[in-house]
């Protein structure tokens, strides 16, 4: 699970292997965490599951991507209620920009509108299917043999 999580985090953040290595090397952390410089091939071997990073390397990755170590190693795959995040979290960031209260509310309303519209559309499709099935059954019952 770790290789997939790492690759998803890296690609989702738009980094190449060497760019991520350079960014990790720039982190100003405890000396214990900066013992060995990172390289693109090293990170690539982690993503392919060929090598496994040390505890300290996983910690550096978690700090860099701002995720928990449990998340990065795939230990936690918890469900998160987006509605609660928008309601309770005053520190939401999108595309590197902090969202104001108004932006959080508008974003929430866009998401909610999307899913409500999707439910309505699915309900309409089901009604159309039910109507079509009813008409087909009615036609068959009315047929003379």
> Residue 129 falls within a domain, yes or no?
yes
Tell me, what's the pLDDT at 47?
A: 95
Say whether both 86 and 58 belong to one domain: no
- Is 31 inside a domain boundary? yes
Instruction: Give me 89's structure tokens.
Output: 């979290």
Q: What pLDDT tens digit does each residue of the chain (145 aa) get?
A: 889 999 999 998 899 999 999 999 888 776 665 567 899 999 999 999 999 998 889 988 998 998 888 888 887 656 667 777 777 666 778 888 888 888 888 888 888 888 888 777 666 666 666 665 555 554 555 555 4
pTM (two decimals): 0.54
Domain membership flag for residue 77: no
49: its two tokens: 């599951």
**Residue ranges making up the domain that contains 103:** 82-142
pLDDT of residue 79: 66
pLDDT value, residue 99 = 85
Tally of domains within the chain: 2
In a domain? residue 45: yes
Same domain, 87 and 110: yes
- What is residue 46's predicted lDDT score, i.e. its pLDDT? 96
Residues 109, 55 share a domain: no
Say whether both 59 and 92 belong to one domain: no
112 and 57 in one domain? no
SS3 93: strand
The 3-class secondary structure across 12-58, one letter per residue, is HCCCCHHHHHHHHHHCCCCHHHHCCCCCHHHHHHHHCCCCCCCHHHH
């Amino acid at each position: 699970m770790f290789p997939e999580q790492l690759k998803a985090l890296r690609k989702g953040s738009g980094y190449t292997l060497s760019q991520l290595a350079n960014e990790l090397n720039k982190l100003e952390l405890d000396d214990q965490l900066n013992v060995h410089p990172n390289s693109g091939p090293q990170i690539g071997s982690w993503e392919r599951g060929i090598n496994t990073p040390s505890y300290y390397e996983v910690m550096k990755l978690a700090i860099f991507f701002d995720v928990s170590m449990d998340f990065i190693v795939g230990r936690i795959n918890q469900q998160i209620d987006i509605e609660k995040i928008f309601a309770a979290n005053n520190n939401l960031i999108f595309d590197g920009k902090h969202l104001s209260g108004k932006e959080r509310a508008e974003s929430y309303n866009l998401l909610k509108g999307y899913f409500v519209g999707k439910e309505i559309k699915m309900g309409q499709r089901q009604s159309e299917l039910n109507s079509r099935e009813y008409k087909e059954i009615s036609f068959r019952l009315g047929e003379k043999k």
